[in-house]
Amino acid sequence: MIPEALQHLAHRDRVMGRLIQRVGPCTLKPANRRNPFEALVRSVAYQQLHASAAAAILRRIKALYAGKRFPGPADILATSDERLRATGLSRAKVAAIRDSAANTIEGVVPNSRAISKMSDDELLQRLTTVRGVGPWTVEMLLIFTLGRPDVLPATDYGVRRGFAMTYGWPELPRPRDLLEHGQRWRPHRTTATWYLWRAAELPAGR
């Protein structure tokens, strides 16, 4: 599927094609072993944080539950706010993770089997009813857990910065401008997103 996506992107957008040549093969591999609850917790932890800081918080969260690969909803609900806050989570993120846990138990957050049958739009509408879960959080789940092929997180700073650097914009594009340009990348906007993230990491002058 990826070679087909690269051919499509390069054919529809020459600038994107040059970026693909500079970056090399797409190595995006969804972590489909994660259930939806874990994916939401991870996405909440990463909100507005550098990746290394969020990863450290997640390590401390998992350390609270010895012998478990990752805590389940009942584990989170049985843990005090103080212990969760001690991992580095803000009060707002603790509240969001607790609400994600409660909504998972209630069935609002679907299980892995159910979620695989839902469309991107259905998931966006369902999951954004959970406290602290906005479109960006759902988009990260769609990309990194479900491997959906046509997701463009237009509000993501890294994507906007990568676009500005790649296309020579003096300022970050507005989300609506990015979405408009991204129409030409359909149905492979996830792959284009991955390359824009990589563009933001390229050394100057490369």
Query: What are the structure tokens assigned to 164, written together?
Result: 């500005």
Question: How far from chain centre, in Å, is Cα 69?
Answer: 20
204 token code pair: 């100057």
Question: Radius of gyration of the chain from Cα atoms?
Answer: 18
75, 99, 120, 156: the catalytic one is 156
What's the rounded Cα separation, in Å, for the pair 59 and 74? 19
> How far is the CA of 63 from the CAs of 60, 164, 188, in angstroms?
5, 39, 37
156 is an active site residue: yes
| CA dihedral of residues 174, 180, 186, 191 (deg, nearest 10) | -20
Among 84, 32, 92, smallest CA distance to 58 is for 84
Terminal CA-CA length for the chain: 28
| Residues catalogued as catalytic | 156
